[in-house]
C-alpha cells in the first residue's frame, strides 16, 4: 500500500508536469544547500526547482502522460518546472551550470516531446520574447514608414512639378511683359 505522503508527492509532481510550459531535468550532485538556494533565486518566478526521488518522478511523469524521460531519471535528480518563458529559465540554468560545474543539465521536455541538452542550449541562446517582439515591432514600423514614403512620393512629385510650371509661367510672363 502506498504511503499517503508519497501519493501526494506524485500527485503534486504530476500536476507540475501538466501545468508547466517546459521542464528541465538536472543532476545536482555536489551542490550545497546555499548553491541550490542561489539557483532558485536565479530562476526567480520563471521556474520552480524541485529535488525529487526518481521513482516518484517516473510515476508522476507517467500519470501526466510524459514519455521519453525515463533515461534521465538516474542519479540525484532535480527538475525545473518552467512556469513562464522557457528561454529565461534555460538561460538561468545554463548560466548557473557554467558557474557551478556540479549542476549538470540532463535533458528536458517541451511541447509534447523530450529535449536533448543541445536543444536546451539552443533555447537558452534565443533572445527573450520581449526582445523578439520589440524587433518585430521595429521591423513593422520600418516597413510602414517605407510604405508611407512610397505613397507620399507621387504627391510630392506632382507638387514640385506644379511649382516648377508655375515658376516657368511667371518667368515667361515676366519676360514678355518686359519686352
Provide mean pLDDT across the span 134-144: 84
pLDDT surpasses 80 at 2: no
Q: Is 117 found in the same domain as 64?
A: yes
> Which residue range(s) make up the domain with 155?
131-179
Provide mean pLDDT across the span 81-96: 88
pLDDT surpasses 50 at 176: yes
Q: Is 144 found in the same domain as 116?
A: no
Q: In Å, how far are 32, 95, 153 from 91, measured between CA atoms?
A: 21, 6, 47
For residue 84, give the C-alpha cell.
513562464
Q: Is 111 found in the same domain as 91?
A: yes
Q: In Å, how far are 13, 139, 177, 178 from 172, measured between CA atoms?
A: 90, 49, 9, 10
39-74 confidence digits (pLDDT tens): 999 888 888 998 889 989 999 988 888 888 888 888
48 membership: H or E segment, kind and range:
strand 47-52
Amino acid at each position: 500500500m502506498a504511503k499517503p505522503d508519497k501519493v501526494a508527492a506524485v500527485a503534486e509532481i504530476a500536476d507540475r508536469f501538466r501545468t508547466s510550459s517546459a521542464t528541465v531535468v538536472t543532476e545536482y550532485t555536489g551542490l550545497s544547500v546555499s548553491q541550490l538556494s542561489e539557483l532558485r533565486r536565479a530562476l526567480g518566478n520563471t521556474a520552480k526547482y524541485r529535488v525529487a526521488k526518481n521513482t516518484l518522478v517516473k510515476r508522476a511523469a507517467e500519470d501526466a502522460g510524459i514519455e521519453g524521460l525515463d533515461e534521465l531519471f538516474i542519479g540525484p535528480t532535480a527538475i525545473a518546472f518552467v512556469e513562464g518563458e522557457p528561454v529565461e529559465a534555460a538561460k538561468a540554468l545554463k548560466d548557473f551550470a557554467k558557474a557551478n560545474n556540479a549542476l549538470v543539465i540532463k535533458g528536458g521536455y517541451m511541447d509534447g516531446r523530450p529535449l536533448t541538452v543541445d536543444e536546451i542550449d539552443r533555447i537558452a541562446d534565443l533572445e527573450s520574447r520581449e526582445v523578439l517582439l520589440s524587433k518585430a515591432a521595429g521591423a513593422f514600423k520600418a516597413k510602414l514608414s517605407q510604405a508611407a514614403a512610397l505613397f507620399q512620393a507621387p504627391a510630392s512629385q506632382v507638387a514640385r512639378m506644379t511649382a516648377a510650371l508655375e515658376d516657368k509661367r511667371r518667368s515667361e510672363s515676366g519676360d514678355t511683359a518686359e519686352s
